[in-house]
């Protein structure tokens, strides 16, 4: 998992800012949730629930709790769900005010991830919506390839 370069610059959010968003929605600030947010905060790339669980000091919380927390955080817009097509969901922290929409370039050999901040499809999205009479059209896009390290 070599390429951890991220061309973007999502500034790390303070933990207090994150818990504040929870408090604002009158959700409780518990040990497991703080631990999860702390882990996501330090990780610039999408993580599976199992990875979050593994990164947690000595099973500090149950895996089921992580699943429930990610549902909540996703609903609140604090994390964004990504799907790399291997059948396991991945989550990334979303900056305050950001909608979290971006893409990734994933190495199919080592699973390394490069963040892609540009979005190329905004206008194509509206064209497709109009042409087919759809509303509220969004998209999911991920790139896959072989990273420089894995080519050698």
Q: Which residues bind DNA (CB under 7 A)?
A: 23, 26-33, 48-50, 59-65, 67-69, 71-72, 87-89
**Token digits for 13?**
């959010």
As a whole number of angstroms, the distance between CA 110 and CA 144 comes to 11
As a whole number of angstroms, the distance between CA 47 and CA 60 comes to 17
Q: How many C-beta atoms surround the C-beta of residue 96 within 10 A?
A: 12
Q: How many C-beta atoms surround the C-beta of residue 36 within 10 A?
A: 28
- Residue 132 interacts with a copy of itself (CB under 8 A): yes or no: yes
Enumerate the β-bridge partners of residue 113.
Answer: 106
- Residue 137 interacts with a copy of itself (CB under 8 A): yes or no: yes
Between residues 24 and 133, which has the closer beta carbon with respect to a copy of itself? Answer: 133
Give which of a copy of itself, DNA, none residue 105 binds (C-beta under 5 to 8 Å, depending on kind): a copy of itself
Give which of DNA, a copy of itself, none residue 139 binds (C-beta under 5 to 8 Å, depending on kind): a copy of itself
Q: Please name the residue that has the structure tokens 């919380």.
A: 61
Phi and psi at 50, nearest 5°, equal -70, -35
User: Number of residues in contact with a copy of itself, rule: CB under 8 A?
Assistant: 36
- Residue 48 interacts with a copy of itself (CB under 8 A): yes or no: no
* Residues in 55-114 at the binding interface with a copy of itself, rule: CB under 8 A: 83, 85, 87, 89, 105, 107, 114
Q: How far is the CB of 81 from a copy of itself (least distance, A)?
A: 8
CB 33 within 8 A of CB 66: no
DSSP 3-state of 55? helix
Q: Which residues bind a copy of itself (CB under 8 A)?
A: 3, 5, 7, 83, 85, 87, 89, 105, 107, 114, 116, 120-121, 124-125, 128-129, 131-148, 151
């Amino acid at each position: 998992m070599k390429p951890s370069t991220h061309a973007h610059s999502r500034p790390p959010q303070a933990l207090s800012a994150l818990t504040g968003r929870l408090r604002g929605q009158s959700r409780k600030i518990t040990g497991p949730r703080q631990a999860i947010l702390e882990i996501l905060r330090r990780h610039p790339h999408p993580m599976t629930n199992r990875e979050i669980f593994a990164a947690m000091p000595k099973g500090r919380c149950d895996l089921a709790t992580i699943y429930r927390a990610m549902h909540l955080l996703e609903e609140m817009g604090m994390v964004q769900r990504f799907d790399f097509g291997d059948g396991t969901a991945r989550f990334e922290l979303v900056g305050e005010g950001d909608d979290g929409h971006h893409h990734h370039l994933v190495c199919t050999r080592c699973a390394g991830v490069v963040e892609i901040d540009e979005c190329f499809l905004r206008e194509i999205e509206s064209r497709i919506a109009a042409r087919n009479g759809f509303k509220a059209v969004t998209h999911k896009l991920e790139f896959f390839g072989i990273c420089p390290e894995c080519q050698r």
